[in-house]
Amino acid sequence: MTWLVTGGAGYIGSHVVKALGEAGLDSVVLDDLSSGHAGFVPAGVPFARGSILDGDLVERTLRDHGVTGVIHVAGYKYAGVSVQRPLHTYEQNVTGTAVLLERMQAVGIDRLVFSSSAAVYGTPDTLLVTEDTPKAPESPYGESKLIGEWLLRDQAVAAGLRATALRYFNVVGSGSPSLYDSSPHNLFPLVFDALTAGRTPRINGDDYDTPDGTCVRDYIHVEDLALAHVEAARRLDAGDDLLPAYNLGSGDGVSVRQIMDAMAEVTGIPFTPEIAPRRPGDPARIVASGELAARDLDWRMRHDLREMVASAWAAHLLWQQGDRSL
């Protein structure tokens, strides 16, 4: 069995490729390197450079490598920026997914694991998000992921696609120091950049109704996330029935202050975060239940907060020492 990983040269996608290899499954990577890094693709793994919008390239890659299933990670992932770039977001995430599904059908591939997002929920009015929590995305990014799930649903009816979507909040950590999060928008790299530049990280609000006054969120280790994608792929290979979507959540979450404390401990850089005003619309707590994924996909939190921070810091240091343009 060979799995195509779209976006397989990116932070999350490269961890999925790594996990597939460790599980003894073959993979092929398709990535346009708009945010990925060619150096993230392991030696021996075929790499097609290009966009999922290029249907001919997608179909040729599927045929030439005997692909039997797709793990679809590629997409424009910046929720905040998507508000300023809605058309680009929809083109990458909606049109791109439609092109991929069209070419999968042309080749006769009927298995897909879709990397979705908890952004489909928007700001839920419940403290624990389940798969049945109403969907109310608040950005073009969240909307595009929800539409992607609809495309899977409709293609299942029209063409017998067997698929599942994995929804998650904040992905952190590293499964290898050589695979790092280079996003300019994610919390961990932002804090690490501030610390190494001698700036003081900020906390937006410390007067929320939470144990320490700061917001509580779901943070999951990227390696745990990758393992869930691989297990979903294996279940589809085995012909098992999966739910249309699963939350990959911690069930309890961690606070922003807990993250800052762990970062000071791990990095050895003592600091007291600056307290900034609350950001409008930030709920006190959003945490997802992972019960259904634990039942069906062997989902569990294999890494604690300190391990998340330590692995991310090691990767960040290696990145700093190398060429950030890789």
Task: Decide: 17 and 8 in contact? Cβ < 8 Å.
Answer: yes
Q: Name the nearest CA neighbour of 73 among 101, 54, 93.
A: 93
- Active site residues per annotation: 141
Burial class (CB in 10 A: 0-12, 13-18, 19+), 311: buried
Structure tokens at 92: 């990458």
CA dihedral sign, ordered 259, 261, 265, 269: positive
d(CA 45, CA 222): 20
Please state the separation of Cα 260 from the chain's center in Å. Answer: 22
**Residues in contact with 189: Cβ distance below 8 Å, sequence separation at least 6, in sequence order:** 180, 181, 182, 183, 312, 316
